[in-house]
Each structure stands twice: as structure tokens, then as C-alpha cells.
Amino acid sequence: MKLRDKYLVVPGAKVKLARWDPGDTAGIDSKKEALPELEDLRKKLYDLQYLLYAEKRQSLLIVLQAMDAGGKDGTIRHVMSGLNPQGCHVKSFKVPTEEELAHDYLWRVHRAVPGKGEIGIFNRSHYGDVLVVRVHNLVPKRVWSKRYEQINAFEKILADNGVIIVKFFLHISKEEQQKRLQERLDDPSKHWKVSPADFEERQYWDEYVKAHEDALSRCSTPWAPWYVIPANHKWFRNLVVADILVRTLEDMDMRFPESKLDLSKFVLD
Ligand code: ATP
Ligand code: MG
């Protein structure tokens, strides 16, 4: 089975994260085995991005969500490192500012959507408004519970206007999170990453699991599918994300535009 099909949340399916193994490697034994494949996928990504940019007809929006220390930053570093920075931008969504809070929750998101020819990466996203916001009751249930449908409608508008959307949930186990947070404490080069919030949020693990399950179940649509990426092994996570991105771009039926100029008029002497 192709990796993409294996980790797709089939629209309408009910996700139980306990049934998705975060340590899965699809039978690939080691990082060493995966690296040449990842290198090959990176080159393909580069060529496909070039075509996307040249064609300027569609854009690609990549949404990354994960528990703390789930590897969003690492995925961006490893998978996107081969892309041309011109035509690619990353937007990180933090605690909303006062100005952002004065608007509807999609306001800050919509304006960050990539334009035609571009790739946009959301490091966290509008899903925060049904995840952290729900877990901490930052708005009442009657408000957040309407957002699943609103998000589906919003993403449909984008899709109907040439934005191809892929959403990755980087799935790690609670033990793996513990290991990674401990590494941040032990390794001086990672001290800058230590944040009290990560340790506090860990106590809400079960609530976050539930909130993710609902978001994945209710918002995986044909026009904006969710993928649950086994992410305990960083090399495998990178491989699956790269593979899905390449296949998604290949399906976009892109072509170099024909010149409207009469090129025979240009003669170099
Ligand atoms: P890192 O992995 O490097 O820690 P991060 O994405 O966790 O990256 P931080 O600056 O540590 O970045 O945290 C951003 C914070 O913003 C998170 O705690 C997240 O829950 C919070 N946040 C994001 N969206 C919202 C929102 N809509 N409402 C409230 N808080 C939000
Ligand atoms: Mg953080």
C-alpha cells in the first residue's frame, strides 16, 4: 500500500489515535535505508515547486499540527530544506495578539494563505481554535463546537480557488514526548527550547488526544485531507511527509505555461 493511502484519514472515518501506532515504520528497517529515498523525494519536491511557481495557477498549503515536541520544526527543516525560499513561506501561529482577538479566528489565517505559485507552511494553524482553545475553555463549547463546520467551509472556499491543502498531524507517543522534553533539559544546546507551557500542557495529554481525534474525524475532507503521520521516528516522519507532498504536487496536473510572445522575433547576435 502506498504511504499516502496508509496514513490518510478517510473522510467520514472516526479517528481513535490509540489505533494509530506512532512508532510505525511501514516495514522499513532503518534510517539508513530511508535516506536515499528521502534525498530523491527532496529533489522531486524542488522540481515540482519550480513548476508550481512557473505555472502560477494554484498554491499549496501545508498545515502542521502536533503535540508539544511533536516535531513540527524538525519537519520543516528536513523536508523543506530543498525548496527555493523564493516562493515558500512559513507562518507560525502563536497566542493571538489583541488585534487578532478583536477579529474572527480565521482572519489571521486567511491573510497568511499562500498566493498562486507559492507554497505556504502553517506551523500550527486555525486548528488551534478547536484544540488549545477547547482544552482550556478559552471560549464556551457552544462557540468552538460550531468551528468544525466553519473550518470545512473555509477550506472549501480556498480549495475552490486553487489552494491545494494537505494537513499533517505528527503523531508521537506520550513516552516519546517525555524523552524529547527530557533531552531539552539535558542538552545545553536545547535549553533555549525549554518552555514552561510544554510541561504544563503535558498534564492535559488526554484532553488533547480527544480534541485531536475530533478535529481529525470531523475535518478530513476530500478537499483538505488530514494525514496521521507516525512521528516517533523522525526519519520515518520526514519520509512520509515528503512522499505525500510529492504525490500531492504530482496530482496537480501542472504544466509550464506557453509563452504568449512570438519567440522567433528574439534574435541574439
Ligand atoms: P515550539 O515547538 O518551538 O515550542 P510552538 O508552536 O509550540 O513551537 P510556542 O511559541 O512555544 O510555539 O507556542 C505557541 C503557543 O501558542 C502554543 O502554546 C499554542 O497553544 C498557542 N496558540 C496557538 N494558537 C492559539 C489560539 N488560537 N489561542 C490560544 N493559544 C494559541
Ligand atoms: Mg512550544
The closest alpha carbon to 133, from 144, 147, 145, 149, belongs to 144
Chain CA centroid to CA 74, Å? 12
Query: Are the C-beta atoms of 117 and 56 separated by less than 8 Å?
Result: yes
Count CB neighbours of 133 within 10 A: 18
The closest alpha carbon to 86, from 50, 113, 59, belongs to 50
Interval 161-190 mean pLDDT: 97
The helix or strand, by DSSP H or E, that contains position 122, with its residue range, turns out to be strand 119-123
Count CB neighbours of 221 within 10 A: 19
First-residue to last-residue Cα distance in the chain: 55
- According to DSSP, residue 125 is labeled -
The closest alpha carbon to 122, from 59, 45, 64, 60, belongs to 64
Q: 88-92 and 119-123: which strand pairing?
A: parallel
In this structure, the residues whose C-beta lies within 6 A of any atom of ligand 1 are 68, 72-73, 92-96, 123-124, 128-129, 132-133, 138, 195, 197
Q: What is the pLDDT of residues 17-26, one digit of tens each?
A: 999 999 999 9
Unique residue bearing C-alpha cell 500500500: 1
The closest alpha carbon to 204, from 68, 28, 3, 14, belongs to 68
Residue 1 has pLDDT above 80, yes or no: no
Q: What is the pLDDT of residues 58-87, one digit of tens each?
A: 999 999 999 999 999 999 999 888 899 999
Q: How confident is the model at residue 179 (pLDDT cuts 50, 70, 90)?
A: very high
Q: What is the pLDDT of residues 243-253, one digit of tens each?
A: 999 999 999 99
Unique residue bearing C-alpha cell 497566542: 95
- According to DSSP, residue 8 is labeled B
Give 132 Cα–ligand 1 centroid separation in angstroms.
8
Ligand 1 atom 13: residue of nearest CA = 94
Give domain 3-252's CATH superfamily: P-loop containing nucleotide triphosphate hydrolases (3.40.50.300)
Give 2 Cα–ligand 2 centroid separation in angstroms.
32
Q: Which ligand is nearest to the CA of 193?
A: 1
Ligand 1 atom 12: residue of nearest CA = 94
Q: What is the pTM of this model?
A: 0.96
